[in-house]
Amino acid sequence: MSVVKVVLRKKYKQDGTSPLTLRITKDRKSSYIYLGYHILESEWDADKQRVKKSHPNSVRLNNFIIKKLSEASYKAIELETNREHVSSNAMKQKVKPKGGLSFMGQAELYLANLKEAGKYNQYTADKPRIKHFKEFLDGSDIAFSDITVALLERFKHYCLTTLKVGERTAINHWVVIRSVYSQAIKNELADAKHYPFGKGKIVIKFPDSTKIGLAVADVQRIEKADLPNGNHHHARNLWLTSFNFGGMRSSDVLRLRWSDFKNDRLHYTMGKNLKTGSLKISLKVHDILNQYKEDKRHKDDFVFPELKTLSDEELENKFLVQRRIAFATSRVDKFLREFVAPAAKISHTLTMHIARHTFGNIAGENIDLHMAQSIFRHSNLKTTLDYMNNFKNKNTDAALDAVLNFDKPKSKRAKKVKA
């Protein structure tokens, strides 16, 4: 059984006053919640847990104390009723949750958790989305129960018309609200019955996106393009490394260490989903690696220079590392767009991520779906199927020919195509 009392903690300020607190005691362990008021010890009646009449605001403070004591006692009883074992810290979290009970406070906690987890890309993407939601609310906070389907529909319209973003970006604004709301439900700070997402409410469904990869001839022109040494040549090397390792993500390319290469194979763990695997090192990648061996400091050193300047302490900071990778990728993409693409006569926008689409495009229908899943390190086969379907055009092209080539003799028309 927990005990909730209002006490004056003996932590004196310079003016001699002490803080009023709620003390929650469970199994002889106490946690304190500060109520935001300080009074003199002579103005406090510890037995009655009341402010004495000698204090000028005694009536208002005592009403405040009665309210807070009642709320805390009710929540403590509710928590103990639903759980067999409850600590004083759990009681404190229930009475005064970290971040508060409203959306914006929990949104700040959500962002802080992303930062602590080192999720730089998600943090930088979600922070402005929360800011946009607050602007939509005219700068005010909102209770979770007031976030309704109708309000979310209006917010999406605001994103599309006022912020002038696309459909996918508008839906991403819904996603971050859903994440914060789910966090609040998990921490028992919001009631699941008010949750505005799911069947019969707001269903998150992203529009199909077009993924366009380069053709074999484009890759060959990139390989042969006449580029000066330095950043231009380095950007091409990173792109070709990504492509030759099955469209490896740029963050994983920049994290490659010499110790990852053993017996002519690459052994690495994908940063996004921690999937492990091994890939053959092609002769083309061998040639690229040889260009960086002179800068190898030790066997566990990074292959490429982008992360070499970080100290061991900085490398432990996931958020800082992700930020460095994001800045480096942006810089490499700039060189790919402005120098490598023109030199290779590539009209398509050239970025590190296009290397992944290019591998998918060239792989097309030539490799087994399960093998494609293994190379791309997708967690489930459906993701691979959806991804590879962007690059499978053979049946569609044959079907069009079967209909449109009516001016050719029947014997030369494409045969009937099955879906």
pLDDT at 418 > cutoff 70: no
Q: What is the pLDDT of residue 251?
A: 92
Q: For the chain, what percent of residues have pLDDT higher than 70?
A: 79
Q: Give mean pLDDT, residues 72-77.
A: 75
Pick 86 or 197 by higher pLDDT: 197
pLDDT at 1 > cutoff 60: yes
pLDDT digit string (tens) for 196-231? 999 999 999 987 766 677 888 999 999 999 998 899
pTM for the predicted model, two decimal places: 0.67
Q: Please, which residues bridge with residue 261 across strands?
A: 266
Pick 370 or 160 by higher pLDDT: 160
* Burial class (CB within 10 angstroms; exposed 0-12, middle 13-18, buried 19+) of 357: buried
pLDDT at 88 > cutoff 70: no
Q: What is the pLDDT of residue 22?
A: 84
Q: Give mean pLDDT, residues 337-365.
A: 88
pLDDT at 52 > cutoff 80: yes
User: Which token pair is 176?
Assistant: 């971050």
Q: Give mean pLDDT, residues 59-86.
A: 77
pLDDT digit string (tens) for 164-187? 999 999 999 999 999 999 998 888
User: What is the average pLDDT value for the chain, to the nearest integer?
Assistant: 84
pLDDT digit string (tens) for 98-111? 656 789 999 999 99
pLDDT digit string (tens) for 249-304? 899 999 999 999 998 898 888 666 667 778 889 999 999 999 999 999 999 999 99
